[in-house]
Amino acid sequence: MKIAVVGTGYVGLVTGTCFAEKGNEVICIDIDQQKVEKLREGKITIYEPGLTDLFLRNLKEGRLKFTNSLREGVKDAEIIFLALPTPPGENGSADLKYILGVADDLGKIIDNYVVVVDKSTVPVGTADKVKNAIAQHTKVEFDVVSNPEFLREGVAVDDFMKPNRIVIGAESERAKKIMNDLYATFSRAGTPVIYMDIRSAELTKYAANSFLATKITFMNEIAQLCERMGADVDMVRLGIGADERIGKKFLFPGIGIGGSCFPKDIFALVMSANEFDYDFQILNAVMRVNQMQRLHLVTKIKHYFKGNLDGKHFALWGLAFKPNTDDIREAPSLYMIDELLKHGATIRAFDPEAMGNAKKYFGNKISFAENQYDALENADALIIATEWNEFRSPDFQKIESRLKRKIIFDGRNLFENSTMQDQGFHYESIGRAVVE
């Protein structure tokens, strides 16, 4: 099938590449000229495991193309995906200016029946707005469909190619048939394709993200209790996770939920609920707890250094909001770094993939290391903010020889307390006893 994808970021590039891999002819469109030029030259613009090979193969075989021109990109397309940003607006509601701006332009361009698909995460009622924006400029027939994306950065290719489910909100039979054809290879492989009305599809995405964020936040509160009550959150996690009704996943406490989706989607759902005269109390609490949790490790650091961080120097491992991505949007590390700097500390950070983005964000406010051990030189303590695999089994001798003091503050519970005891470190983690 001929597919256009508008917006070539984390979702758009993965969507476009994976549909090309499935044999479709795909054109990805982006407003960012530099990005399009790089992609045309075969240079990938995000770090996502497994994506580069697929991207290069499909580019070479001519199934995957890139353009800045919306008109050129959507010409002949049977399906146009919108994978555009929906960042929080001034009051936290999803800002629809990118989606509605493109919808407006599409109305002036389309000259044949086409299915316009919202892949972005959008509030209930957006499909109607998209429909109106297009319809005010054209008499051409078209349909708007909601097909929310559930991929996770870091495993996006796998998630896209082998999803748990595909959700499609469609109202016309014609659009349903086209979406059915598009996803035929997925349903043949056993993936459930769940058809529903458009509003339910739009809400499904927010409900899924909010539920998952709530689950993690609940465990963060249990971790807070563990620290106060002398219990061990890892034991509690195993104990409750063994109950199938609860499940083992998303029970890991840490330094708060981050990333480009959870925080903004919870906020957007709370604001949408308000518009419909409903106070979503649980999600308001989730947001409050999260604000506190992302500074929880810094609170421990301040406490250890008796409230005086002025002139202290820290090594920081991990900037990305989670491992296997270069994405730092809403990463807890950003909040922690800002707070440490505010109190007069200096920081040398290392992240396997996210330092490029972090340099753009921090400039020279912090320094960046060549590797994880280089970051440690002369630091008063090591702080761990992202659970990259390469941080899990470090050479503790090397850590010891470079740090000024044998202290680790671990926001991701990478090490066993018994190991840290044996290694002789002062070790503070989340929801577990302090190793002195």
Ligand X SMILES: NC(=O)c1ccc[n+]([C@@H]2O[C@H](COP(=O)([O-])OP(=O)(O)OC[C@H]3O[C@@H](n4cnc5c(N)ncnc54)[C@H](O)[C@@H]3O)[C@@H](O)[C@H]2O)c1
Catalytic residue among 18, 28, 226, 261: 261
Rounded distance between C-alpha atoms, residue 337 and residue 353, angstroms? 18
Binding residues for ligand X, rule CB under 6 A, total 26
Per-residue mark of binding to ligand X, 345-374 (x: CB under 6 A): ------------------------------
10 binds ligand X (CB under 6 A): yes
The nearer residue to ligand X, 4 or 369, going by C-beta atoms, is: 4
Q: Which residues pair with 384 in a beta bridge?
A: 317, 410
**Interacting residues with ligand X between 59 and 98 (CB under 6 A):** 83-86, 98
Question: Which residue from 8, 67, 333, 429 is in contact with ligand X, where contact means CB under 6 A?
Answer: 8
| Residue 392 Cβ vs ligand X, minimum distance, rounded to whole Å | 23
Residue whose structure tokens are 């195993």: 238
Q: Determine what percent of the chain falls in helix, strand and coil, rounding each to the nearest 5.
A: 45, 15, 40
> With the C-alpha atoms ordered 180, 77, 28, 30, is the resulting torsion angle positive or negative?
negative
121 binds ligand X (CB under 6 A): yes
| Residue 107 Cβ vs ligand X, minimum distance, rounded to whole Å | 14
Rounded distance between C-alpha atoms, residue 108 and residue 115, angstroms? 15
| Residue 318 Cβ vs ligand X, minimum distance, rounded to whole Å | 18
| Residue 257 Cβ vs ligand X, minimum distance, rounded to whole Å | 13
The nearer residue to ligand X, 328 or 340, going by C-beta atoms, is: 328
Question: Which residue from 29, 116, 178, 315 is in contact with ligand X, where contact means CB under 6 A?
Answer: 29
18 is catalytic: no
Between β-strands 346-350 and 313-317, what pairing exists: parallel, antiparallel or unpaired? parallel
Per-residue mark of binding to ligand X, 387-416 (x: CB under 6 A): ------------------------------
The nearer residue to ligand X, 164 or 418, going by C-beta atoms, is: 164
125 binds ligand X (CB under 6 A): no
| Residue 234 Cβ vs ligand X, minimum distance, rounded to whole Å | 27
Rounded distance between C-alpha atoms, residue 260 and residue 328, angstroms? 8
CA nearest to 414, candidates 402, 397, 400, 428: 428
> Rounded to the nearest 10 degrees, how much is the dihedral formed by the CA atoms of 215, 221, 223, 226?
-130
17 binds ligand X (CB under 6 A): no
| Residue 18 Cβ vs ligand X, minimum distance, rounded to whole Å | 13
124 binds ligand X (CB under 6 A): no
The nearer residue to ligand X, 118 or 339, going by C-beta atoms, is: 118
Q: Are 70 and 102 in contact (CB under 8 A)?
A: yes
120 binds ligand X (CB under 6 A): yes
| Residue 141 Cβ vs ligand X, minimum distance, rounded to whole Å | 23
| Residue 228 Cβ vs ligand X, minimum distance, rounded to whole Å | 34
The secondary structure of 359-416 as a DSSP string is: HHHHTTSSEE-SSTTGGGTT-SEEEE-S--GGGTS--HHHHHHHSSS-EEEETT--S-
Q: Are 350 and 374 in contact (CB under 8 A)?
A: yes
The nearer residue to ligand X, 160 or 350, going by C-beta atoms, is: 160
The nearer residue to ligand X, 320 or 420, going by C-beta atoms, is: 320
CA nearest to 259, candidates 216, 220, 302, 221: 216
The nearer residue to ligand X, 31 or 433, going by C-beta atoms, is: 31
The nearer residue to ligand X, 122 or 381, going by C-beta atoms, is: 122
CA nearest to 275, candidates 144, 138, 123, 413: 123
Rounded distance between C-alpha atoms, residue 436 and residue 431, angstroms? 15
Residue nearest to ligand X (CB): 9
Question: Which residue from 7, 258, 318, 394 is in contact with ligand X, where contact means CB under 6 A?
Answer: 7
The secondary structure of 404-420 as a DSSP string is: SS-EEEETT--S-HHHH
Per-residue mark of binding to ligand X, 246-265 (x: CB under 6 A): --------------xx----
CA nearest to 318, candidates 375, 279, 267, 246: 375
31 binds ligand X (CB under 6 A): yes
Residue-wise burial string across 200-224, b where 16 or more C-beta atoms lie within 10 A, e elsewhere: ebbbbbbebbbebbbbbbbbbbbbb
386 binds ligand X (CB under 6 A): no
CA nearest to 193, candidates 165, 172, 163, 173: 165
Between β-strands 166-169 and 381-384, what pairing exists: parallel, antiparallel or unpaired? unpaired
Residues assigned a catalytic role: 261
Q: Contact positions toward ligand X, by CB under 6 A?
A: 6-12, 29-32, 35, 83-86, 98, 101-102, 120-121, 149, 151, 153, 260-261
